[in-house]
Amino acid sequence: MFTRYLWNMGKEYLRITKTRVTQNCVGEHKHVLNRMRRPYSTCPAGMKITICGAAGCTGQPLALLLKQCPLLDEIALYDVCATCGYGMELSHVDTKCKVSSFSGRHMLCDALKGAKVVVIVARSQCDTFENNAPIVTEITLQICNICPDAFTIAATEPIESLVPLVSEIQRLRGMYNPRLLLGCVELNCVRANTVLANFMRVPPESVRVPVIGGATPKTMVPVLSAAIHPCTMSQEQTECVTSSIMSGNEAVCAAKCSCTETACLAGAYALARNTINVVKGLQGGRNIIQCAYVDSLGTCAPDCQFFASEVNLGPSGIEKNLGIPELSKFENCLLCNCLPYVRNEIAHAIWLVYTMCHQCCCSTCVAHPGTCFTPPIVPCVPPTNWTCDCPDTCRDEYLASICREMSCKCGSTELCWRPREADYNAARAANLKHQMPLKGLSCNVCNVPRSVRIDKELRNRFKDS
């Protein structure tokens, strides 16, 4: 009996041991499979970012900062000039992010293929709308063709004009999604945080100042009263801090002894922070607050379709516009002064697109597009089907060809489009027929910001007088 008992105990021990070994093998096998399924940099479904203008003074430090981000799987560097050297340098940085380089206009499609986020920092030597609009237009057209679902971050100056330009071209192509487009104004927030932190003598990381309106000193409004690290300041101190924030770019130009220089390093840092916040949102993050110049559907400021404000980023892009916070009397005055300039920049871009789409681009043609029968190199009138989903080569070439030559002269005949005046154009800013009305689909009359109501009341009083 004792021998049989030992035999049965031995069999039970072998059965239990075999079961444990099998379970451990299955668990180890599952662990190996999970490791193999992780989206590393070679995974086609990974997070790819394309930097358009990567060889510029802002694109190079931006690529270096993004290469250190563990959330990214691939960075594609694109520019019209050579980017192979920069790509090879970045590939030596010991992070998992893969780096690829593309040079020349013919390589733009390859650079955009599979991109989840596109950052536009391409610019000419002179940051004017006339010089940068052709560059941004060509990139936007290829975004519509290659990666229409990618999140687009426009950081080329002037942001107030080029973001509406991108939106109108995407709208004409039938691929516009206001949740997937923003203009980067984070540099203003970075400066505001630093200036206020220096004034309060606290770490800059503990301060957050929202900056609304636009990106230039004439359009930005630092909302010091809504700062996360508030403090009690007199009116004179508030004006001094606000002036220091607005004059940040001028101080950089003066320190570099050149009026054409830009804040490349601080701008790259701010743009990298903005891009990483977008990536966090797309990868499932919630309640990520970011100041950005976005399509507010006319609900933030009166007669301003685009406006810089705080937004919530998430998996679908821009999930919620937080609008304009409660402003002090001084900040409300700044907002009322900046709104005409913001409207002017928006109208400038939309006016350009609609002018391109309805005027003749033949260098020798002086007749109306509807009565012109001379076959030019590019069509006298644009294609009629502007909302088809498939790429239209003729339409893309029409827009791109006009934008390439819009500020040039063909022989003795000046093109139909003429560059705007350097100063503010009151007539263009007052023409609001192409812009959103004050009340949009998502606008609630009961929740109109106090600053908007005050501005509307002031305009009504001015009309009555």
DSSP 292-338: EEEE-TTSSBTTBSEEEEEEEEETTEEEEEEEPPP--HHHHHHHHHH
Query: Using 50, 70 and 90 to split pLDDT, how confident is the model at 422?
Result: very low
Which element (helix H / strand E) includes 409?
Answer: strand 409-410
Residue 29 has pLDDT above 80, yes or no: no
Residue 368 has pLDDT above 50, yes or no: no
Say what the pTM is: 0.73
pLDDT tens-digit map of 66-82: 999 999 999 999 999 98
Contacts of 22 (CB under 8 A, 6+ apart): none
pLDDT: which is higher, 243 or 387: 243
Contacts of 461 (CB under 8 A, 6+ apart): none
Residue 32 has pLDDT above 50, yes or no: no
Query: Using 50, 70 and 90 to split pLDDT, how confident is the model at 251?
Result: confident
Integer Cα distance of 235 and 220 in angstroms: 19
Residue 108 has pLDDT above 80, yes or no: yes
Integer Cα distance of 365 and 15 in angstroms: 93
Residue 371 has pLDDT above 50, yes or no: no
Predicted pLDDT at 309: 93
The mean per-residue pLDDT over the stretch 312-334 comes to: 90
Contacts of 19 (CB under 8 A, 6+ apart): none
**Residue ranges per domain, the chain?**
48-183, 186-334+440-464, 343-430
Lowest mean pLDDT of 176-190, 216-230, 249-263, 287-301, name the range: 249-263
pLDDT: which is higher, 406 or 87: 87
Residue 388 has pLDDT above 50, yes or no: no
For residue 95, give both structure tokens: 């992070």
Query: Using 50, 70 and 90 to split pLDDT, how confident is the model at 16?
Result: low
The mean per-residue pLDDT over the stretch 239-253 comes to: 84
| Number of residues written out for the chain | 465
Predicted pLDDT at 72: 94
pLDDT: which is higher, 428 or 136: 136
Predicted pLDDT at 404: 56
Mean pLDDT for the chain overall: 76
Q: Do 48-183 and 186-334+440-464 have matching folds? A: no
Predicted pLDDT at 8: 63
pLDDT tens-digit map of 192-221: 999 999 888 888 888 999 999 998 888 999
Residue 184 has pLDDT above 80, yes or no: yes
In the CATH scheme, what architecture does the domain 186-334+440-464 have? Alpha-Beta Complex (3.90)
Predicted pLDDT at 237: 86
124-131's contacts with Cβ under 8 Å and 24+ in sequence apart are 125/260, 126/260, 127/156, 127/157, 127/158, 127/260, 127/262, 128/158, 129/158, 129/161, 129/162, 129/348, 129/349, 129/420, 130/406, 130/407, 130/419, 130/420, 131/407
Predicted pLDDT at 424: 54
Predicted pLDDT at 413: 33
CB 282 within 8 A of CB 150: no
328-361 as b/e, with b when 16 or more CB fall inside 10 Å? eeebbebbbebbbbbbbbbbbbbbbbeebbebbb
The domain defined by 48-183 carries CATH number 3.40.50.300? no
Residue 377 has pLDDT above 80, yes or no: no
Residue 442 has pLDDT above 50, yes or no: no
Integer Cα distance of 61 and 70 in angstroms: 17
Contacts of 74 (CB under 8 A, 6+ apart): 41, 46, 47, 48, 49, 97, 98, 99, 100
Residue 360 has pLDDT above 50, yes or no: no
CA distances from residue 8 to 5, 274, 371 in whole angstroms, order as listed: 5, 68, 103
Residue 261 has pLDDT above 90, yes or no: no
